[in-house]
Structure 1
């Protein structure tokens, strides 16, 4: 077979090497392509190897009338190996050009993998800047869960809503789409005048020129890609700065603003309670995005600005998503198999709130969860597939683990663990093994000997005990 035929059956990265996919000169081959995927035990194709993203600067233009998105992603990253090529995750959309450190780079698509071949190889440790220009109609991504949940780019009555857990962010920008690679973000969005564009972090500027308005948002603290969000539409936006807390910014679709007001007013109170239980708040703002039912079918803990459909915008769910700002957003799992570190903690936060304000002891919530058979389908630390990463055991058996821990070590040590865990891993990633090791050290220092049943039965065990 000729050389071109051979190239068609090889991987994109190898093909680029054979064809000399860069401008000018020969190819320096001291590096090798970064891996396509980080070998996540549940989502094998997500993420990429060979580099660590430091910052995303996204410049977007969106027209709701045509559902057309035009974007420029400027990605600053550090090479973790000698790189001849690297991958970005991108679903749909058309790549118009790519450049690395100001020089044109070859870009090759294979499904959701965009392989970029720089003009010259990148040395391990080098910080480099990739610019990808892209456009098109962003798409919905359907999860493999039993509800066939939709994420990615969801069109709404007057705009769009972008939500990303677990894989949806690649529907609107290219990146290293795995929780293990967190970065800071600047997201600048231009939309028709009269619409709002709401994202994570703080609004740094808003300017109108002609019939278009541009909003610039900055997330100064690291964020996993699945936690990035963008809401475009007619929103009632309110800002406040409580004396003892972060800035509160809420965006509520005008059609549900009146019905949402009572729950929105609870944000400062919930934040004060959460800080008392979980420690210093890790971000500089908090808030909520509330949309009509049907635009999204679930609430999501998008960083600093959780998203809620109206039917789930209640006190219990608000407590859950605010707790995620500590557990899941600031302390983010190393892999999707560690999801219980997000959902078990946020669910237990609901139980603590009910104990403190609703007269329902956490033990009562624990017993109700124990009796529910769907919570025993698998161990919380071992979801068997990507389709089950958000199933009941991850939430409720995860919360049961924390309740049993609280019973073993007592309230004082338990809350020291909750706050210390969030503080020690702030803005980082952690695994289940990291958590159990941390707990055992803290318990030992406090003179508490943990029963191995705590982990063997409640965290890793498959069988339901005879008694709670």
Structure 2
């Protein structure tokens, strides 16, 4: 419920920026049905109880989801999402089948007697079909139907962006997570294991060639994080400093995994120091080997980096630093704090997930190899920034902004760190941000307000320029025999941001605005600290 209230409070602020962020793309009614909070979606999800059977030979699933909810107003129609290629078998409410109609990937359930305001209730949604198959998971969503090198089925789900409703019925919007968690029961052919989120509560031989694996999630969970991982898995694990850590890998990779996954320990030490306690301790931490590269599936992080350092052996920064550690372990686990614990209400604000998580790569590097190594790594990411369009996307239509949300979002945070210019305050701020909004739904306005309140600095223009416009700030310098004039060139009006420079070998801090200012002493040379401030520099006469 707290997520719904926060969203309603801030929806006006969202709308104020919506026109600015709209690009030339056309959006369908289907986009709006998925991306907006319509009246038919005005209910708070309390629990999901998913129970399905997976038939690898037919690439077919069948089962039901019992949805426990509380309407925020009297509803005669409720929207539940399920992709149109999947069949609705029946929807049962208080023992009766309810009529429904389908539009795009939305299912509108009619109840003449109404779902009563503030009354906790439930319905059971039975369904079946062949879910869409991912061609190149995780970049396109769906079921990843593969086999391992022994020819055994190896199957995983990865649906971020595409939507959880690609394979199970739910309220497919990031603003609402099941407050009391969920149960996930998955029947798979005997001899295979299904690993899902949370903790294993039991397994049962169904006597029909299938075994059902039962999992329980205590904490709220993003819909797209709910995952199936089916394969010839073996398990190992340990309790590390009070945290249960479990690893599920293909049987023939056991010894390799035991050695490679040792990196989880220093990572957890670092992240818990900088971001606070692991946010899903009750559900344990798991790494699960998958046929796709990876995904931040809450408490069941998908791992497919083939036991390599870097990103499949490559360094995304091009500096050599990024091959000191396994990119997928670090990045996808960073999402446990940023994306899974702290979640954006609209995917237009996905920079909150990806910018902070990309910065977690820098944090880990700094923890292990020092400040200079961390700064070397993040400066290497500059080459990946395209400045093609704003990082924030249009609201209400299920649309993300620029992929720059990853490197540019992290570089913006590194710039704010330099603005604060006090690492004790910086680390305190990051940890308090993570702990204050633990298990909460947020948006850009809330992040900005928090950073401004905690630092006492006017940071809104900084966030706005990096997030809402494609260009980064440009420091313009003009030199003549009398000195040097300077100002910011930005899209944001009345932009102001301090920046460090070196003048004749002396380091000083300038406070430029969009109005010209002048240095009294003509410098022989001036250099801008572009290694700590992600800005362009324009020099003229």
TM-score (norm 1): 0.82
Inter-partner Cα distance in structure 2 for 1:362 and 1:453: 26
Task: Assess if the C-alpha contact under 8 Å between 1:73 and 1:173 holds in 2.
Answer: yes
Give the aligned partner of residue 316 of structure 2: none
Tell me the secondary structure at the aligned position of residue 380 of structure 1: coil
Q: CA deviation at 1:90?
A: 0.5
Inter-partner Cα distance in structure 1 for 2:162 and 2:64: 20
Q: CA deviation at 1:330?
A: 0.7
Give the aligned partner of residue 455 of structure 1: 463
Is 1:290 aligned with 2:289? Answer: yes
Tell me the secondary structure at the aligned position of residue 404 of structure 1: helix
Task: Assess if the C-alpha contact under 8 Å between 1:200 and 1:303 holds in 2.
Answer: yes
Segment of structure 1 superposing worse, 428-437 or 152-161: 152-161
Is 1:116 aligned with 2:109? Answer: yes
Give the aligned partner of residue 96 of structure 1: 89
Q: CA deviation at 1:451?
A: 5.4
Q: CA deviation at 1:382?
A: 4.4
Within the candidate set 62, 70, 77, 2:62 is matched to 70
Task: Assess if the C-alpha contact under 8 Å between 2:69 and 2:121 holds in 1.
Answer: yes
Within the candidate set 188, 191, 196, 1:191 is matched to 188
Give the aligned partner of residue 144 of structure 2: 154
Instruction: Give the superposed CA RMSD.
Output: 2.7
Give the aligned partner of residue 392 of structure 2: 381
Is 1:56 aligned with 2:48? Answer: yes
Q: CA deviation at 1:206?
A: 1.7
Inter-partner Cα distance in structure 1 for 2:42 and 2:398: 27
Inter-partner Cα distance in structure 2 for 1:167 and 1:318: 23
Q: CA deviation at 1:456?
A: 4.0
Inter-partner Cα distance in structure 2 for 1:451 and 1:103: 55
Inter-partner Cα distance in structure 1 for 2:155 and 2:253: 16
Inter-partner Cα distance in structure 1 for 2:470 and 2:140: 30
Tell me the secondary structure at the aligned position of residue 219 of structure 2: strand
Inter-partner Cα distance in structure 2 for 1:310 and 1:452: 38
Inter-partner Cα distance in structure 2 for 1:126 and 1:51: 10
| Alpha-carbon spacing, 1:462–1:110, altered in 2? closer, same or farther (3 Å) | closer
| Alpha-carbon spacing, 1:427–1:452, altered in 2? closer, same or farther (3 Å) | closer
Q: CA deviation at 1:256?
A: 4.2
Q: CA deviation at 1:434?
A: 0.3
Inter-partner Cα distance in structure 2 for 1:342 and 1:428: 13
Inter-partner Cα distance in structure 1 for 2:223 and 2:335: 15
Q: CA deviation at 1:458?
A: 3.0
| Alpha-carbon spacing, 1:159–1:95, altered in 2? closer, same or farther (3 Å) | farther
Within the candidate set 450, 457, 465, 1:438 is matched to 450
Is 1:319 aligned with 2:316? Answer: no
For structure 2, list consecutive stretches of 5 or more residues without a partner in the other structure: 1-13, 148-152, 313-324, 475-529, 535-541
| Alpha-carbon spacing, 1:209–1:463, altered in 2? closer, same or farther (3 Å) | closer
Q: CA deviation at 1:54?
A: 1.1
Give the aligned partner of residue 21 of structure 1: none
| Alpha-carbon spacing, 1:239–1:364, altered in 2? closer, same or farther (3 Å) | closer
Inter-partner Cα distance in structure 2 for 1:71 and 1:438: 43
| Alpha-carbon spacing, 1:383–1:249, altered in 2? closer, same or farther (3 Å) | farther
